[in-house]
Amino acid sequence: MTQLDLYALLPVIFLAAWASLLLLADLFVPHGRKGITALLSALGLLITLGISLAQFGRSAAGFGGMVALDGFSTFLACLFLLTGLLGVALAFNYLKRMDIERGEYYALLLFSVVGMMLMAQASDLIVVFLALELLSIPLYVMAAMAYPKTDSEEAGIKYFLLGAFASGFVVYGIALAFGATGTTSLSAIVAAVASGAADLPLLLAGAGLILVGFGFKIAAVPFHMWTPDVYQGAPTPVTAFMAAGAKAAGFAALLRIFALGLPALALDMTQVLVVLSALSMLVGNFVAIAQTDIKRMLAYSSIAQAGYILMAFVPYGNPAVRELSIAAALFYLAAYTLTSFGAWGVVIALEKPDGQGLKIDDYAGLGRRQPLLAAAMTIFMLSLIGLPPTLGLVGKIYLFRAVIAGGFYPLAVVGVLTSLISAYYYLRVVVKMYMQEGDPQVTRERWLDFTIGAMAVVTVVVSLFPAPLFDWASRAVLALF
């Protein structure tokens, strides 16, 4: 390992080492005091965030070009570390309240964040697969963390089986890409295509299989069937972490592979991406209307959100629009992460150890009983719709701008119409809170209240001044080493 290799992967190496040491340190933390482990995990995430921010604006390749440090990976590393911090904050009191407090939860979360960060830096398909497994395996365990509850065990098993199935598609796709080009390096694949040495039909088949595998990870239709059951059965902080972090990691890999490594296949893949995006928006929003459980509603909402983000992938074959589409995707990923964690925080505030408080009807009267909490939930619902004054509106404007600039007007129309449809089930929660009588029982916890309040404020304030965040996303360029 050279000094340059170490520098390129410094945040990943540090966090992996911290997570390993955390497992050992947790052995000496007495049962009932696992909050110490949570604070140690948050400290590790904060230090790693500082290291990542110090690397912003610098580019380097490590391990023979298998990993890349660039603006893209740095932006996403900061986003993933933020999801880790928010995941720790939501779980801090929840695990104890639900009597499932275990110190290994936090180590597993850190290892999953390590996988996400490595996914954003991967410049070789083998590293992409390794990062995918490092990201996914801890999540399989975390989804089943609430045993002996059967819903949680079922969620873990379903996620594991379908995740392993999806990983098989990714491996097979990598094998076909290697057969078509003789390499798994993204830069070498580009060179092989440019020189005419690649077997394009075989490479296209491999790209299609990789897209299927990551379609599962981002919960895009028709690879979404696991999402409602897993989101409903998993502990809610785990669900929040999966809905934001795991989805963003899947999109990070897709951006790096298709926008950087396989732009020559743009014309062949465009129509596939259009169909996936449109189906995800339509199915996610229409099925969400019928849900009565808030976790299942937000699960189908996340499927629809995957469709919106996929819109940014559609024009990636147009060099004039590529940078705009990547910036729009990164901006919307950040907006969705902040909004999603806030909404899941409100869900945690109403959830009870016996599983009560998860119906949409349970939100009746929240506006009268807890006006600040209801106001925060209203902000999150408006942001998911894409209404002012929220970050979701700005994010969708950038997405639609990229799609329209690429000339895909029908897809933009589908996006607008499905956003209108989503207003029905999002605003139904607001109507319940303010226009129906009820007596919701709310759990007030310091870290939970802080997280919800901070996300609500950021969602509104950043929407009023979005230029710095979009400028950062625009400078998060992909580098090919």
- Given a cut of 50, whether residue 53 has pLDDT beyond it is yes
How far, rounded to the nearest angstrom, does the alpha carbon of residue 369 sit from its chain's CA centroid? 32
Per the CB < 8 A criterion, the answer to whether 296 and 232 are in contact is: yes
Task: Please tell me the predicted confidence (pLDDT) of residue 481.
Answer: 43
pLDDT number for residue 1: 57
For the stretch 361-389, pLDDT in tens is: 989 988 888 899 999 999 999 999 989 88
Is 480's pLDDT higher than 60?
no
Cβ contacts of residue 17 below 8 Å, gap of 6+? none
Q: Facing residues of 379 across strands? A: none
Rounded-to-integer distance, Cα 119 and Cα 206, Å? 19
Q: Which tops the pLDDT comparison, 46 or 188?
A: 46
% of the chain exceeding 70 in pLDDT: 96
State the pLDDT at residue 264: 62
Q: Is the pLDDT of residue 399 over 50?
A: yes
pLDDT 10s digits, 150-177: 888 888 899 999 888 889 999 999 999 9
Residue 128's contacts (CB-CB under 8 Å, 6 or more residues apart) are: 119, 122, 170, 174, 253, 256, 257
What pTM did the predictor assign? Answer: 0.92
Tell me the domain boundaries of the chain: 263-476
Examine the pLDDT at 402 and tell me if it is beyond 70.
yes
Average pLDDT over residues 192-214: 86
Task: Indicate the range of 24-33, 122-131, 235-244, 385-394 predicted with least confidence.
Answer: 24-33
**219 — alpha (psi -120 to 50), left (phi > 0) or beta?**
left
